[in-house]
Amino acid sequence: MPRQQLAQFHVDYLQILDENGRVDTTLEPPLPEATLWQVHRCMTLARMLDRRMHILQQQGRLGTFPSCYGQEAAGLGCVLALRQDDWLVPCYRENSALLYRGLPLHNLLLFWMGLEEGAYWPRELRVLSIPILIGSQTLHAVGLALASQIRGANEVTMVFFGDGATSEGDFHEACNLAGVYQAPVVFVCVNNQYAISVPRSQQSRSETLAQKAIAYGFPGLVVDGNDVLACYVAAQEAVERARLGRGPTLLECLTYRLGPHTTADDPRRYRSEQERQQWEARDPLKRWRIYLEQRGLWSEQQQAELERELQAEIELAVHQAEQIAAHADPLEMFDFVYAELSPDLLAQRREAAEFLAHSETLSASSVRR
């Protein structure tokens, strides 16, 4: 018998606002002016916070952290489509989305200071803490979505992850489970072109990452991840689909990490300056300013006033975080894992307590001298 074609698929690409500020008015969403300005505020705050955190890290006042410089649009644009009772499961470069959702600045700073207090976020935000294991959060998100489904709650879960996560087993298990049970979850792959130093071209032979959804029975869409409007429209469609019980969607948001993978990384060793400059011309904040200016909502004077306001906000958050850190008890790290500590953890706790006591003695002695 002759072979027969059993299936075929296609993957669409969506862009509404290009790098030169041109808008496809047939696709432009009717967002209120207040929302447009809030988007600008959150993206600007995320950019300024990134720079301040880099300085703090250089001064030894903050641990190693991953930059979100250049990726501010993807997370924020997608989160615009969520309701307050929906769930947000971030990766570690969604600062603009977290700030828009209402996460206090000092919580982010505490997290990257390595303090337990930084992992406890206001519950009413319905935001999970930042994961470190690549792709692990995709399974958590599907679990949340299935719980909402079982309870009959009309909630949607949105989960973020990088292109490198699509090479992890957790991602494929999450997609398969979500597809089988038609879970109300939106998978957002923020494709910044590199999994640390491994370029996208060496991660997968797939022409797009969005097409990986096809194998699990739900649609995938490629979006300009530096275009807030396109990210919002794509996410809005995906969220509505999930809320109506039609299952998951995978969005691949194309963007670029303009900074290093983390403050422990030197991207000059694996990518060219020419490539970086090409992507910097597509900077999401630059095109957003052009868009607002065309709408009569932005000026140099407004920008200067906004930056002064945000700088003061950041410095207050730094002060708050460092005040909390100064009174933090490192031994609390042992208190919230098990009801009763195992013998090896008890031994570790005793060792840690002895080390802290010795350090305090040395510090007091130094002050007396």
Catalytic member of 261, 282, 287, 289: 261
Task: Give the model confidence (pLDDT) of 77-120 as tens digits.
Answer: 999 999 999 999 999 999 999 999 999 999 999 999 988 788 88
Q: Tell the CATH superfamily of the 12-326 domain.
A: Thiamin diphosphate (ThDP)-binding fold, Pyr/PP domains (3.40.50.970)
Nearest Cα to 209, choosing from 228, 230, 229, 188?
Answer: 188
As given in the structure block, the two tokens for residue 5 are: 């074609």
Is 1 buried (19+), middle (13-18) or exposed (0-12) by CB count in 10 A?
exposed
pLDDT value for 365: 61
Listing DSSP states for 163-181 in one string gives GGGGGSHHHHHHHHHHHHH
CA distances (Å), 229 to each of 36, 74, 224, 225, 234, in order? 10, 10, 9, 9, 9
Annotation says 270 is catalytic: yes
Answer whether 76's CB lies under 8 Å from 40's CB: no
Report the pLDDT value the prediction gives residue 8, as an integer from 0 to 100: 86
Mean pLDDT, all residues of the chain:
94
% residues pLDDT > 90 (the chain): 87
- pLDDT over 60 at 367, yes or no: no
In this predicted structure, the answer to whether residue 366 has a pLDDT above a threshold of 70 is no
Count Cβ atoms below 10 Å from residue 152 Cβ, excluding itself. Answer: 7
pLDDT bin (cut points 50, 70, 90) of residue 359 is confident
Is residue 329 very low, low, confident or very high in pLDDT (cuts 50, 70, 90)?
A: confident
Reply yes or no on whether 257 is catalytic: yes
Closest by CA position to 130, among listed 139, 122, 20, 121:
121
Supply angle C-alpha 125, 131, 133, rounded to 5: 165
Select which of 40, 257, 282, 287 is catalytic: 257
- 92 in active site: no
Catalytic one among 270, 295, 308, 350?
Answer: 270
Structure tokens belonging to residue 114: 């390595």
Q: What is the pLDDT of residues 4-39, one digit of tens each?
A: 888 888 999 999 999 999 999 999 999 999 999 999
For the chain, the domains span: 12-326, 330-368
The whole-angstrom separation of Cα 197 and Cα 272 is 12
